[in-house]
Amino acid sequence: MKSKVVLASDFGKDFLWGVAIAAQQNEGARNVGGRSDSIWDTFADKNNKIKNNQKIGNACDFFHLYKQDIDLCKLIGFNTFRFSLSWSRILPNGTGTPNMEGIRFYNQVIDYCLEKNIRPFVTLYHWDLPNVLELEGGWTSHRMLDWFSHYTETCAIHFGDRVKDWIVLNEPAGFTTLGYMLGMHAPGRRGISSFFPAIHNTLLCQAQGGRILRKNIPDARIGTTFSCSYIFPNSDKPEDIKAAQRLDALVNRLFVEPLLGLGYPRVSNFKFLEKLEVHNLAWRHKEQMAFDFDFIGLQNYFPITVKHNPIIPYIAANEVKPKDRNVPYTSMGWEINSHAFGLITRQFAKYQNIPRLIITENGASFKDVIVDNKINDVKRIQYYKSHLTELLQLKKEGLPIDGYLAWTLTDNFEWNYGYSPKFGLVHIDRETQERTMKKSGYWFKTFLHT
């Protein structure tokens, strides 16, 4: 029997449909309008930190072309536009007096969204810490809570009269693990001596950011977002199942459970978590790490399959890659599995203290195929179709899901992968900055108008 075609109208008239971008990945204008360097600017300047030694350059030049991109959102039919604020543009010294040129820019973006009847969905922190603060210790510093509180209050005061949808942190597990443990992302630090305090300070800032927004914008809808991946054991062997449990605690539970007042996650005989809890004196700060957010954002791209491996430090596990299991995967080697998207969403929905969920990022990178001078990205369309079909099933099951934001509008700077991955619904010519809608963009346009 042929399955029913999913329609946008099936999700209800109040469902949020949007796209997400980020300041560091899209804005460009590195030293324009008083902006100082972020940790990603300085990290990418170093040799061999970015794939093929690429540099960030002008990115998508969203700073100058934001109206074009918001117009594209409107043309496709999205009612929500998620973007992040550059801490370095708003507070070039990391703290202190705001840069009014930066404030003016974001006011223009917000006002243009509202003019086009698009909800501005603002992320406070999407990985681009001012480098001046990293020189003072960054996310490992005991002063981070004060720095972040001042930044949050500044943004709330200047934008809270019009922005009512806020995300405090984007994927804290991502920027702490990749940036302060594995050294793959900015600022490039390695080891638990940086990782442990970065986790703790991030947890404190996550909750405090929510409290500051609530104080300054009583009618705001406030959330934070988590990267998440359903963790499959590679076999039914007890050691593989335990390996999956350990990774699940680090990938999916480490930042949400303290936020919900549950403290650090516990896994039997997982010494790494025990050391983390003792090092950070978590029992003293349990209440400070908790906040009742209005929603939690989930960002899912792929599941992970793991097996026990005693030689791997700390977690004693390693991933079994999709290509080695003969399952479909994207151009970045990420497994395509909409069923796992449903499983991880259900896992988060089981937490009693999460009132609402929003899918704040979901998408896939594929090599663009040119057919008759058009970008015929059929695989991306198939990815979205399968995941939206799964999402509708979740809604039918009664999960409190209020929206879906695709990643991303335009091909952009994808962190240490540079400009090689293509996630966008819109292609950007790297030389001219010309925007060209892909077939997936036209597909979304048809989908959202049905």
Token pair 């908790």 in the structure block, residue: 290
Q: Which residue has the tokens 């009664």?
A: 398
Give the mean pLDDT of the chain: 96
User: If pLDDT is split at 50, 70 and 90, which confidence band does 3 have?
Assistant: low
Name which of 164, 348, 383, 176 is nearest 276 in CA terms.
176
Q: Which member of 27, 171, 257, 335 is catalytic? A: 171
pLDDT in tens, 210-260: 999 999 999 999 999 999 999 999 999 999 999 999 999 999 999 999 999
User: Cis peptide leading into 408, omega within 30 of 0?
Assistant: yes
Residue 80 CA: distances (Å) to CA of 406, 409, 441: 10, 12, 15
Name the token pair of 333: 């080697």
pLDDT band at 372 (very low <50, low <70, confident <90, very high): confident
Both tokens of 5, joined, read 């075609």
What whole-number distance in Å separates Cα of residue 417 and Cα of residue 400? 34
Phi, psi at residue 391, to the nearest 5°?
A: -65, -40
Q: What is the pLDDT of residue 422?
A: 98
What is the per-residue pLDDT across 249-305, written as a single tens digit (0 to 9) for each? 999 999 999 999 999 999 999 999 988 888 777 667 889 999 999 999 999 999 999
361 assigned to active site: yes
310: DSSP letter: T
Q: Structure tokens of 351?
A: 């937490």
Give the pLDDT of residue 283: 65
136 is catalytic: no
Residues 431-447 have a mean pLDDT of 97
Task: Measure the CA–CA gap between 425 and 119, rounded to whole angstroms.
Answer: 19
Asked whether 338 and 345 are in contact (CB, 8 A), the reply is no
The candidate with the shortest Cα–Cα distance to 298, out of 206, 229, 381, 199, is: 229
d(CA 352, CA 291): 14
Q: Which range has the worst mean pLDDT, 191-205, 366-380, 398-412?
A: 366-380
Dmax (CA) of the chain: 63
Given a cut of 70, is residue 315 above it in pLDDT? yes
**Mean pLDDT of all residues in 80-108:** 98
Q: What is the DSSP letter of 329?
A: B
Question: How buried is residue 81: exposed, middle or buried, by Cβ count under 10 Å (0-12/13-18/19+)?
Answer: buried
Q: Provide φ and ψ at 355, rounded to 5°.
A: -75, -40
Name the active-site residue from 27, 134, 335, 361: 361
Averaged pLDDT for residues 120-127 = 98
Arithmetic mean of pLDDT, 126-154: 98
Walk me through the domains of the chain, giving residue ranges and CATH numbers: 8-448 (3.20.20.80)
| Calpha distance 414→245 (Å, rounded) | 29
Tokens of 324: 């080695």
Lowest mean pLDDT among 92-106, 123-137, 272-286, 318-332: 272-286
- Mode of pairing for the β-strands spanning 221-227 and 295-299: parallel
pLDDT at 280: 76
pLDDT tier at 370 (50, 70, 90 boundaries)?
A: confident
Categorize the per-residue pLDDT at 1 as very low, low, confident or very high, splitting at 50, 70 and 90.
very low
- In the chain, % of residues over pLDDT 70: 99
* Digit-coded pLDDT (tens) for 149-185: 999 999 999 999 999 999 999 999 999 999 999 999 9
